[in-house]
Amino acid sequence: MTPINEVPVGKFVRLAFNVVYVIKNNFKDNYALIPIEGHVSKDQLWDVKVYVYKRFNKEWIERAKAVLREANLDKSPIVDNLTYIENLAILKSYESK
């Protein structure tokens, strides 16, 4: 189990029995997650421990892309252009594996 503040961007993790994708983490005071299976609780603590997946389903990649695109189109404050481009590149690299 790894503390959420040590998980790099682009990882799929299990958080409170839900699968989520880390789209932003500055390792100091904030992180952002998008739901893949289940939902993201808004009251998660900073040092909560999560399971980081080393293997993941191909469907998770497609779901992460869809949610990321939707958040970018809706001009979400969590997903700026740089975050969007960075995560899209990470997800595309996963497809080739």
Total number of domains constituting the chain = 1
- State residue 97's pLDDT score: 65
Q: What is the 3-state secondary structure (H, E, C) of the chain?
A: CEEHHHCCCCCEEEECCEEEEEEEECCCCCEEEEEEECCCCCCCCCCCEEEECCCCCHHHHHHHHHHHHHHHHCCCCCCCHHHHHHHHHHHHHHHCC
Residues contacting residue 44 through CB under 8 Å, at least 6 positions apart? 4, 15, 16
Tens-level pLDDT at each residue, the chain (97 residues): 899 889 999 999 998 889 999 999 888 878 889 999 988 877 667 778 999 999 988 999 999 999 999 988 888 888 888 999 999 999 999 887 6
pTM for the predicted model, two decimal places:
0.87
Domain that holds residue 31: 2-95
